[in-house]
Amino acid sequence: MAAIVQVRPVTDVPDGLSASAQPSDPAFFQNPYPFYAARQATHPAFFWSEYGHWCFADFPTVSALLRDRRFGRDILHVATREEIGLPQPKPHTADFDLTEKYSLLNLEPPAHSRLRTLVNRAFVSRQVELLRPRIADLVHSIIDDFEDQGGVELIRAFAAPIPAIVIAEMIGLPAEMAPQLLDWSNRMVRMYMFDVSHETERDANRAAADFTAYLRQAIAERRKLPREDLLSHMIAAEQGGERLSEDEMLSTAILLLNAGHEATVHTTGNAVKAILESGYDPRMLFADDTATAATVEEALRFDAPLHMFTRYALEDLDYNGIALRKGDVIGLMLGAANRDPNRFTNPNTFDPLRTDGANVSFGAGIHFCIGAPLARLEMQIALKILFERLPKLRLTAPPRYADIYHFHGLERLDVSW
Protein backbone atom coordinates (compact mmCIF):
# COMPACT_ATOMS: atom_id res chain seq x y z
CA MET A 1 0.00 0.00 0.00
CA ALA A 2 2.71 2.47 0.86
CA ALA A 3 3.54 5.05 -1.76
CA ILE A 4 7.05 5.04 -3.20
CA VAL A 5 8.09 8.42 -4.58
CA GLN A 6 10.49 9.13 -7.41
CA VAL A 7 13.22 11.32 -5.93
CA ARG A 8 15.45 12.01 -8.95
CA PRO A 9 14.10 13.70 -12.07
CA VAL A 10 13.79 11.58 -15.20
CA THR A 11 14.95 13.62 -18.17
CA ASP A 12 15.35 11.23 -21.09
CA VAL A 13 11.70 10.64 -22.02
CA PRO A 14 11.26 9.93 -25.75
CA ASP A 15 8.75 12.04 -27.67
CA GLY A 16 5.19 10.76 -27.49
CA LEU A 17 5.68 8.61 -24.38
CA SER A 18 4.79 11.21 -21.76
CA ALA A 19 1.20 11.39 -20.50
CA SER A 20 -0.57 13.73 -18.12
CA ALA A 21 -3.48 13.16 -15.72
CA GLN A 22 -3.97 14.82 -12.35
CA PRO A 23 -4.82 12.05 -9.84
CA SER A 24 -6.95 14.40 -7.71
CA ASP A 25 -8.99 15.70 -10.66
CA PRO A 26 -12.57 14.40 -10.30
CA ALA A 27 -12.75 13.86 -14.04
CA PHE A 28 -9.89 11.39 -13.63
CA PHE A 29 -10.57 9.56 -10.38
CA GLN A 30 -14.28 9.16 -11.10
CA ASN A 31 -13.30 7.20 -14.23
CA PRO A 32 -9.60 6.60 -14.92
CA TYR A 33 -10.25 3.91 -17.52
CA PRO A 34 -10.31 6.19 -20.60
CA PHE A 35 -6.84 7.42 -19.63
CA TYR A 36 -5.64 3.82 -19.39
CA ALA A 37 -7.26 2.89 -22.71
CA ALA A 38 -5.54 5.80 -24.42
CA ARG A 39 -2.17 4.60 -23.15
CA GLN A 40 -2.86 1.04 -24.24
CA ALA A 41 -3.90 2.21 -27.70
CA THR A 42 -0.64 4.09 -28.19
CA HIS A 43 2.13 2.85 -25.91
CA PRO A 44 1.34 0.94 -22.68
CA ALA A 45 4.75 1.92 -21.26
CA PHE A 46 4.45 5.64 -20.55
CA PHE A 47 5.97 8.37 -18.42
CA TRP A 48 3.33 9.82 -16.08
CA SER A 49 4.40 13.44 -15.79
CA GLU A 50 2.52 14.20 -12.53
CA TYR A 51 4.21 11.30 -10.75
CA GLY A 52 7.55 11.74 -12.49
CA HIS A 53 8.14 8.06 -13.19
CA TRP A 54 7.54 5.35 -15.77
CA CYS A 55 4.34 3.31 -15.68
CA PHE A 56 3.25 0.10 -17.38
CA ALA A 57 -0.37 -0.54 -18.33
CA ASP A 58 -0.48 -3.85 -20.23
CA PHE A 59 -1.28 -7.16 -18.55
CA PRO A 60 1.78 -9.20 -19.62
CA THR A 61 4.27 -6.53 -18.55
CA VAL A 62 2.56 -5.77 -15.23
CA SER A 63 2.34 -9.48 -14.44
CA ALA A 64 6.01 -9.98 -15.32
CA LEU A 65 7.24 -6.93 -13.39
CA LEU A 66 5.40 -8.00 -10.25
CA ARG A 67 7.63 -11.10 -10.31
CA ASP A 68 10.85 -9.49 -11.58
CA ARG A 69 13.46 -9.64 -8.81
CA ARG A 70 15.39 -6.74 -10.36
CA PHE A 71 12.71 -4.55 -8.78
CA GLY A 72 11.66 -4.35 -5.15
CA ARG A 73 9.61 -2.52 -2.58
CA ASP A 74 12.70 -1.56 -0.60
CA ILE A 75 15.84 0.10 -1.93
CA LEU A 76 17.94 0.78 1.17
CA HIS A 77 19.16 -2.82 1.35
CA VAL A 78 21.09 -2.21 -1.91
CA ALA A 79 21.76 1.56 -1.85
CA THR A 80 22.28 4.44 0.56
CA ARG A 81 19.97 7.43 0.72
CA GLU A 82 22.79 9.63 -0.54
CA GLU A 83 23.47 7.37 -3.52
CA ILE A 84 19.94 7.69 -4.92
CA GLY A 85 19.00 11.10 -3.49
CA LEU A 86 16.40 9.76 -1.07
CA PRO A 87 15.59 12.37 1.60
CA GLN A 88 16.16 11.68 5.26
CA PRO A 89 13.07 10.64 7.28
CA LYS A 90 10.88 13.50 8.43
CA PRO A 91 10.85 14.01 12.22
CA HIS A 92 7.10 14.70 12.21
CA THR A 93 6.33 11.28 10.67
CA ALA A 94 8.51 9.18 13.02
CA ASP A 95 5.59 7.21 14.50
CA PHE A 96 4.15 6.49 11.06
CA ASP A 97 7.56 5.48 9.73
CA LEU A 98 7.96 3.00 12.58
CA THR A 99 4.76 1.22 11.51
CA GLU A 100 6.23 0.93 7.98
CA LYS A 101 9.71 -0.17 9.04
CA TYR A 102 8.93 -3.87 9.26
CA SER A 103 5.90 -3.96 6.97
CA LEU A 104 5.73 -7.13 4.90
CA LEU A 105 4.74 -4.99 1.94
CA ASN A 106 7.98 -3.01 2.03
CA LEU A 107 10.55 -5.65 2.92
CA GLU A 108 12.69 -7.67 0.53
CA PRO A 109 14.35 -11.06 1.13
CA PRO A 110 15.72 -12.33 3.39
CA ALA A 111 13.83 -10.14 5.89
CA HIS A 112 10.58 -10.53 3.95
CA SER A 113 10.90 -14.32 3.71
CA ARG A 114 11.47 -14.67 7.45
CA LEU A 115 8.57 -12.43 8.46
CA ARG A 116 6.11 -13.86 5.96
CA THR A 117 6.90 -17.42 7.04
CA LEU A 118 6.17 -16.55 10.65
CA VAL A 119 2.72 -15.06 9.96
CA ASN A 120 1.59 -16.91 6.82
CA ARG A 121 -0.01 -19.89 8.57
CA ALA A 122 -2.94 -17.82 9.81
CA PHE A 123 -3.87 -16.78 6.25
CA VAL A 124 -3.73 -20.02 4.28
CA SER A 125 -7.05 -20.98 2.70
CA ARG A 126 -7.84 -23.89 5.02
CA GLN A 127 -7.34 -21.67 8.08
CA VAL A 128 -9.37 -18.82 6.64
CA GLU A 129 -12.21 -21.19 5.73
CA LEU A 130 -12.81 -21.74 9.45
CA LEU A 131 -14.06 -18.14 9.61
CA ARG A 132 -16.96 -18.81 7.22
CA PRO A 133 -19.68 -19.22 9.92
CA ARG A 134 -18.59 -16.10 11.80
CA ILE A 135 -18.48 -14.00 8.62
CA ALA A 136 -21.95 -15.19 7.59
CA ASP A 137 -23.38 -14.42 11.03
CA LEU A 138 -21.80 -10.97 10.96
CA VAL A 139 -23.19 -10.18 7.50
CA HIS A 140 -26.70 -11.22 8.55
CA SER A 141 -26.43 -9.16 11.75
CA ILE A 142 -25.35 -6.03 9.88
CA ILE A 143 -28.18 -6.38 7.34
CA ASP A 144 -30.62 -6.95 10.23
CA ASP A 145 -29.62 -3.53 11.57
CA PHE A 146 -30.69 -1.62 8.45
CA GLU A 147 -33.09 -3.88 6.52
CA ASP A 148 -36.26 -2.18 7.78
CA GLN A 149 -34.99 1.27 6.71
CA GLY A 150 -35.74 0.59 3.06
CA GLY A 151 -32.58 2.34 1.92
CA VAL A 152 -29.05 3.08 3.08
CA GLU A 153 -25.62 4.38 2.09
CA LEU A 154 -24.03 0.99 1.60
CA ILE A 155 -20.32 1.78 2.01
CA ARG A 156 -20.62 3.03 5.58
CA ALA A 157 -23.44 0.69 6.59
CA PHE A 158 -22.23 -2.55 5.01
CA ALA A 159 -18.96 -2.59 3.05
CA ALA A 160 -16.80 -0.92 5.71
CA PRO A 161 -17.73 -2.64 8.98
CA ILE A 162 -17.58 -6.25 7.79
CA PRO A 163 -13.86 -6.53 6.91
CA ALA A 164 -12.88 -4.23 9.78
CA ILE A 165 -14.59 -6.44 12.35
CA VAL A 166 -13.37 -9.69 10.76
CA ILE A 167 -9.70 -8.70 10.65
CA ALA A 168 -9.87 -7.13 14.14
CA GLU A 169 -11.28 -10.31 15.64
CA MET A 170 -8.80 -12.44 13.70
CA ILE A 171 -5.91 -10.45 15.14
CA GLY A 172 -7.46 -10.58 18.60
CA LEU A 173 -9.06 -7.17 19.05
CA PRO A 174 -12.67 -6.61 20.15
CA ALA A 175 -15.31 -5.99 17.49
CA GLU A 176 -16.42 -2.82 19.27
CA MET A 177 -13.00 -1.32 18.48
CA ALA A 178 -13.73 -1.50 14.74
CA PRO A 179 -14.89 2.15 14.37
CA GLN A 180 -11.73 3.40 16.12
CA LEU A 181 -9.53 1.08 14.04
CA LEU A 182 -11.22 2.39 10.88
CA ASP A 183 -10.54 5.97 11.94
CA TRP A 184 -6.84 5.31 12.59
CA SER A 185 -6.52 3.31 9.38
CA ASN A 186 -8.29 5.86 7.17
CA ARG A 187 -6.06 8.63 8.48
CA MET A 188 -2.90 6.58 7.98
CA VAL A 189 -3.63 5.43 4.43
CA ARG A 190 -3.96 9.03 3.30
CA MET A 191 -0.16 9.01 3.39
CA TYR A 192 -0.24 6.82 0.29
CA MET A 193 -2.12 9.34 -1.87
CA PHE A 194 -0.70 11.73 -4.43
CA ASP A 195 0.86 15.01 -3.24
CA VAL A 196 0.29 14.58 0.51
CA SER A 197 0.10 17.79 2.55
CA HIS A 198 2.11 18.54 5.69
CA GLU A 199 -1.06 18.50 7.82
CA THR A 200 -2.06 15.11 6.41
CA GLU A 201 1.39 13.80 7.36
CA ARG A 202 1.03 15.10 10.92
CA ASP A 203 -2.49 13.70 11.28
CA ALA A 204 -1.40 10.29 9.94
CA ASN A 205 1.47 10.33 12.41
CA ARG A 206 -0.91 11.04 15.32
CA ALA A 207 -3.11 8.16 14.20
CA ALA A 208 -0.06 5.88 13.95
CA ALA A 209 1.07 6.86 17.46
CA ASP A 210 -2.36 6.11 18.95
CA PHE A 211 -2.68 2.87 16.97
CA THR A 212 0.78 1.74 18.10
CA ALA A 213 0.10 2.54 21.76
CA TYR A 214 -3.12 0.55 21.66
CA LEU A 215 -1.44 -2.46 20.04
CA ARG A 216 1.48 -2.42 22.49
CA GLN A 217 -1.01 -2.75 25.31
CA ALA A 218 -2.82 -5.59 23.48
CA ILE A 219 0.48 -7.42 22.90
CA ALA A 220 1.41 -7.06 26.57
CA GLU A 221 -1.95 -8.57 27.56
CA ARG A 222 -1.46 -11.51 25.16
CA ARG A 223 1.98 -12.23 26.60
CA LYS A 224 0.31 -12.72 29.97
CA LEU A 225 -2.78 -14.52 28.68
CA PRO A 226 -2.46 -16.05 25.19
CA ARG A 227 -5.59 -16.79 23.16
CA GLU A 228 -6.47 -18.38 19.83
CA ASP A 229 -5.74 -15.27 17.79
CA LEU A 230 -3.07 -13.83 15.51
CA LEU A 231 -1.41 -11.68 18.18
CA SER A 232 -0.84 -14.77 20.31
CA HIS A 233 0.37 -16.68 17.25
CA MET A 234 2.89 -13.95 16.41
CA ILE A 235 4.18 -13.91 19.97
CA ALA A 236 4.65 -17.69 19.98
CA ALA A 237 5.73 -18.17 16.35
CA GLU A 238 9.24 -19.50 15.87
CA GLN A 239 11.13 -20.53 12.74
CA GLY A 240 14.68 -21.81 13.00
CA GLY A 241 15.07 -20.19 16.39
CA GLU A 242 13.78 -16.85 15.07
CA ARG A 243 10.95 -14.95 16.73
CA LEU A 244 9.20 -11.70 15.90
CA SER A 245 10.28 -8.54 17.71
CA GLU A 246 7.57 -6.33 19.15
CA ASP A 247 8.12 -3.71 16.42
CA GLU A 248 7.74 -6.43 13.79
CA MET A 249 4.47 -7.50 15.39
CA LEU A 250 3.26 -3.90 15.41
CA SER A 251 4.09 -3.36 11.74
CA THR A 252 2.47 -6.65 10.78
CA ALA A 253 -0.71 -6.10 12.78
CA ILE A 254 -1.15 -2.57 11.45
CA LEU A 255 -0.52 -3.67 7.85
CA LEU A 256 -3.05 -6.48 8.20
CA LEU A 257 -5.63 -4.20 9.79
CA ASN A 258 -5.14 -1.43 7.22
CA ALA A 259 -4.83 -3.59 4.12
CA GLY A 260 -7.22 -6.20 5.51
CA HIS A 261 -10.16 -3.86 5.32
CA GLU A 262 -9.14 -1.13 2.85
CA ALA A 263 -9.12 -3.21 -0.34
CA THR A 264 -12.13 -5.30 0.67
CA VAL A 265 -14.25 -2.22 1.39
CA HIS A 266 -13.44 -0.80 -2.03
CA THR A 267 -13.94 -4.06 -3.89
CA THR A 268 -17.24 -4.80 -2.15
CA GLY A 269 -18.64 -1.39 -3.02
CA ASN A 270 -17.28 -1.50 -6.55
CA ALA A 271 -18.73 -5.00 -7.01
CA VAL A 272 -22.23 -4.01 -5.87
CA LYS A 273 -22.12 -1.03 -8.23
CA ALA A 274 -20.98 -3.20 -11.15
CA ILE A 275 -23.63 -5.84 -10.51
CA LEU A 276 -26.47 -3.32 -10.20
CA GLU A 277 -25.37 -1.53 -13.38
CA SER A 278 -24.74 -4.72 -15.37
CA GLY A 279 -28.32 -5.89 -15.76
CA TYR A 280 -27.40 -9.42 -14.65
CA ASP A 281 -29.88 -11.24 -12.43
CA PRO A 282 -28.14 -11.63 -9.04
CA ARG A 283 -29.90 -14.97 -8.59
CA MET A 284 -27.81 -16.29 -11.47
CA LEU A 285 -24.60 -14.62 -10.28
CA PHE A 286 -24.89 -16.24 -6.84
CA ALA A 287 -26.70 -19.45 -7.80
CA ASP A 288 -24.00 -21.69 -6.33
CA ASP A 289 -20.44 -21.56 -5.05
CA THR A 290 -18.93 -21.72 -8.54
CA ALA A 291 -21.05 -18.84 -9.84
CA THR A 292 -20.35 -16.81 -6.70
CA ALA A 293 -16.58 -17.29 -7.01
CA ALA A 294 -16.68 -16.33 -10.72
CA THR A 295 -18.68 -13.18 -9.92
CA VAL A 296 -16.18 -12.11 -7.27
CA GLU A 297 -13.22 -12.71 -9.60
CA GLU A 298 -14.85 -10.63 -12.32
CA ALA A 299 -15.55 -7.86 -9.81
CA LEU A 300 -11.87 -7.89 -8.83
CA ARG A 301 -10.85 -7.64 -12.49
CA PHE A 302 -13.44 -5.12 -13.59
CA ASP A 303 -12.96 -2.44 -10.93
CA ALA A 304 -9.87 -3.16 -8.85
CA PRO A 305 -9.42 -1.55 -5.42
CA LEU A 306 -5.76 -0.60 -6.01
CA HIS A 307 -4.74 0.87 -9.36
CA MET A 308 -1.01 1.43 -9.00
CA PHE A 309 1.66 -0.61 -7.24
CA THR A 310 5.10 1.00 -7.20
CA ARG A 311 8.53 -0.62 -7.05
CA TYR A 312 12.15 0.51 -7.11
CA ALA A 313 14.69 -0.55 -9.70
CA LEU A 314 17.34 -2.36 -7.66
CA GLU A 315 20.01 -1.94 -10.34
CA ASP A 316 20.72 0.04 -13.48
CA LEU A 317 18.98 -1.67 -16.38
CA ASP A 318 17.34 -1.28 -19.76
CA TYR A 319 13.75 -2.51 -19.67
CA ASN A 320 12.33 -2.90 -23.16
CA GLY A 321 14.18 0.20 -24.34
CA ILE A 322 13.53 2.27 -21.20
CA ALA A 323 16.71 3.22 -19.34
CA LEU A 324 16.25 2.88 -15.59
CA ARG A 325 18.73 3.75 -12.86
CA LYS A 326 19.05 2.10 -9.48
CA GLY A 327 16.48 3.80 -7.25
CA ASP A 328 14.13 4.80 -10.07
CA VAL A 329 10.46 4.13 -9.42
CA ILE A 330 8.11 2.28 -11.74
CA GLY A 331 4.32 2.19 -11.50
CA LEU A 332 2.54 -1.06 -12.24
CA MET A 333 -0.98 -0.12 -13.33
CA LEU A 334 -3.08 -2.94 -11.89
CA GLY A 335 -6.42 -1.37 -12.80
CA ALA A 336 -5.27 -0.81 -16.38
CA ALA A 337 -3.76 -4.28 -16.78
CA ASN A 338 -7.07 -5.82 -15.70
CA ARG A 339 -8.71 -4.12 -18.70
CA ASP A 340 -5.99 -4.76 -21.27
CA PRO A 341 -7.86 -5.21 -24.60
CA ASN A 342 -5.11 -7.51 -25.84
CA ARG A 343 -5.71 -9.82 -22.88
CA PHE A 344 -9.47 -9.63 -22.27
CA THR A 345 -12.42 -9.77 -24.65
CA ASN A 346 -14.62 -6.69 -24.19
CA PRO A 347 -12.49 -5.59 -21.22
CA ASN A 348 -14.80 -2.72 -20.22
CA THR A 349 -17.80 -5.03 -19.85
CA PHE A 350 -18.64 -6.67 -16.54
CA ASP A 351 -19.04 -10.31 -17.53
CA PRO A 352 -18.99 -12.96 -14.80
CA LEU A 353 -19.35 -15.64 -17.50
CA ARG A 354 -16.03 -14.83 -19.14
CA THR A 355 -13.36 -17.51 -19.32
CA ASP A 356 -10.42 -15.08 -19.55
CA GLY A 357 -10.91 -13.59 -16.12
CA ALA A 358 -7.44 -13.68 -14.58
CA ASN A 359 -6.54 -10.49 -12.71
CA VAL A 360 -3.60 -8.88 -10.95
CA SER A 361 -5.65 -7.12 -8.28
CA PHE A 362 -3.85 -8.95 -5.47
CA GLY A 363 -0.43 -8.56 -7.09
CA ALA A 364 1.93 -11.45 -7.80
CA GLY A 365 5.33 -12.76 -6.84
CA ILE A 366 6.69 -12.54 -3.30
CA HIS A 367 4.39 -9.61 -2.49
CA PHE A 368 1.20 -11.36 -3.55
CA CYS A 369 -1.41 -10.24 -1.01
CA ILE A 370 -1.20 -12.47 2.05
CA GLY A 371 -4.85 -11.71 2.82
CA ALA A 372 -6.21 -12.68 -0.61
CA PRO A 373 -7.94 -15.89 0.60
CA LEU A 374 -9.65 -13.93 3.39
CA ALA A 375 -10.72 -11.08 1.08
CA ARG A 376 -12.18 -13.52 -1.45
CA LEU A 377 -14.08 -15.40 1.24
CA GLU A 378 -15.47 -12.20 2.76
CA MET A 379 -16.67 -10.96 -0.61
CA GLN A 380 -18.22 -14.28 -1.62
CA ILE A 381 -20.18 -14.52 1.61
CA ALA A 382 -21.12 -10.83 1.92
CA LEU A 383 -22.28 -10.32 -1.67
CA LYS A 384 -24.24 -13.58 -1.83
CA ILE A 385 -26.11 -12.87 1.41
CA LEU A 386 -26.70 -9.22 0.51
CA PHE A 387 -28.43 -10.02 -2.76
CA GLU A 388 -30.34 -12.94 -1.24
CA ARG A 389 -31.62 -10.81 1.63
CA LEU A 390 -32.33 -7.75 -0.52
CA PRO A 391 -33.34 -9.09 -3.96
CA LYS A 392 -34.84 -5.73 -5.01
CA LEU A 393 -31.63 -3.83 -4.30
CA ARG A 394 -31.24 -0.85 -6.64
CA LEU A 395 -29.27 2.38 -6.95
CA THR A 396 -30.98 5.57 -5.82
CA ALA A 397 -28.21 8.01 -6.81
CA PRO A 398 -25.21 7.94 -9.14
CA PRO A 399 -22.35 6.16 -7.28
CA ARG A 400 -19.49 8.51 -6.43
CA TYR A 401 -15.84 7.51 -6.19
CA ALA A 402 -13.61 8.97 -3.48
CA ASP A 403 -10.57 11.16 -4.08
CA ILE A 404 -8.13 8.47 -2.90
CA TYR A 405 -6.07 7.54 -5.96
CA HIS A 406 -4.07 5.28 -6.30
CA PHE A 407 -6.78 3.42 -4.43
CA HIS A 408 -10.09 3.23 -6.28
CA GLY A 409 -13.26 2.94 -4.25
CA LEU A 410 -16.62 4.54 -3.73
CA GLU A 411 -17.25 7.43 -1.39
CA ARG A 412 -21.00 6.82 -1.53
CA LEU A 413 -23.25 4.03 -2.77
CA ASP A 414 -26.87 4.97 -2.12
CA VAL A 415 -29.31 2.10 -2.52
CA SER A 416 -32.86 1.08 -1.66
CA TRP A 417 -34.89 -2.11 -1.86
Q: What is the CATH number of the domain that holds 336?
A: 1.10.630.10
- Which amino acid, residue 267? T
State which residues of the chain have pLDDT below 50.
Answer: 1-2
Tell me, what's the pLDDT at 220?
95
Three-state SS at 138:
helix
In a domain, 355, yes or no: yes
In a domain, 13, yes or no: no
In a domain, 10, yes or no: no
Per-residue model confidence as pLDDT tens digits over 113-136: 888 888 887 787 778 899 999 999
Sign of CA dihedral 239, 310, 294, 404: positive
Angle between helices 289-302 and 372-389 (to 10 degrees): 110
Is the preceding peptide bond at 373 cis, omega within 30 degrees of 0? no
In a domain, 370, yes or no: yes
Tell me, what's the pLDDT at 239?
67
In a domain, 137, yes or no: yes
β pairing state of 394-395 and 414-416: antiparallel
- Which amino acid, residue 178? A
Sequence-distant (≥ 6) Cβ neighbours of residue 277 within 8 angstroms: 350, 395
Angle at 368 between CA 341 and CA 59, to 5 degrees: 15
Cα(212)–Cα(201) distance, rounded to whole angstroms?
Answer: 16
Number of domains in the chain: 1
- Which amino acid, residue 202? R
Q: Which domain holds residue 285?
A: 18-416
pTM, two decimals, is 0.93
Phi, psi angles (nearest 5°) of residue 18:
-95, 140
In a domain, 5, yes or no: no
Helix ranges (DSSP H) in 129-197? 132-146, 154, 161-171, 178-189
In a domain, 6, yes or no: no
β pairing state of 53-56 and 45-48: antiparallel
Instruction: Residue 387: name the closest of 297, 303, 274 by CA.
Output: 274
Angle at 387 between CA 383 and CA 393, to 5 degrees: 120
In a domain, 110, yes or no: yes
